[in-house]
Amino acid sequence: MDLNKLGQGSIEIPEDILILHVEQPLLQLVEFVYPAYINNVTCGGSFDDGTILCPTTEYVDEVNEFILSLVPENEVTYLSSDTPYESDEQENAQAEWFTIEFLNAIKCSGILNHCVKLKVRVPITLLRNIDQANRLCNGTRLQLTHLWKNVIDAKVITGKNIGDQIFIPRMNLTPSES
């Protein structure tokens, strides 16, 4: 049976990049991808050349929580203010389906989590184009420098505007079409 016809295949991964039977595989992964990060969390440039890719959002959460645990700063929790968007059509059905609890439980690629935990010095990646003129676009990496109640203060660590200090205010995301 040809696996390629089923949309499946196999890849050979070189042994020198495999993490084999260790007590703390996540720690070894972080040390491999970001060697300067473990030794000096304040070091600029620690995140320029590597990215940890995960197959599911559950693994993304696990890796993010682990890296966050390595930073000796106070954690700040940001919660979304999820509200169902009221459309003229089927308001009764929407009220039943899209409860606040349902919206807060959604975890999938492209939709921000209801609860985001951050620490100063931690790198983040923008998931939205927030200021294209200033190159603050999807994929831009930032290092957090201060966490306020409604504003995040960060320094750009990749791209042409490395070192720029930026402020990201709390934003409402509303659909442009009903």
pLDDT digits (tens, 9 = 90+) for 106-164: 887 767 788 889 999 888 888 888 888 888 888 888 989 999 998 999 999 888 888 99
Kindly state the tokens that stand for 163: 């070192």
How many C-alpha atoms does 166 have within 13 Å on its Cβ side?
22
Domain spans in the chain, listed from the N-terminal domain onward:
21-169
Q: What is the per-residue pLDDT for 164?
A: 92
Report residue 89's pLDDT band, with 50, 70 and 90 as the boundaries: low
pLDDT digits (tens, 9 = 90+) for 39-80: 665 555 556 567 888 888 888 889 989 988 888 889 999 888
Q: What is the per-residue pLDDT for 156?
A: 92
User: What is the b/e burial string over 39-73, where b = at least 16 CB atoms within 10 angstroms of the residue's CB?
Assistant: eebeeeebbeeeeeeeeeeeebeebbeebeeebee
Q: What is the per-residue pLDDT for 64?
A: 87
End-to-end CA, the chain:
47
Over 90: is that where the pLDDT of 174 sits?
Answer: no
Over 80: is that where the pLDDT of 7 sits?
Answer: no
DSSP 9: -
Report residue 103's pLDDT band, with 50, 70 and 90 as the boundaries: confident
Q: What is the per-residue pLDDT for 153?
A: 96
Report residue 84's pLDDT band, with 50, 70 and 90 as the boundaries: low
Q: What is the per-residue pLDDT for 45?
A: 55
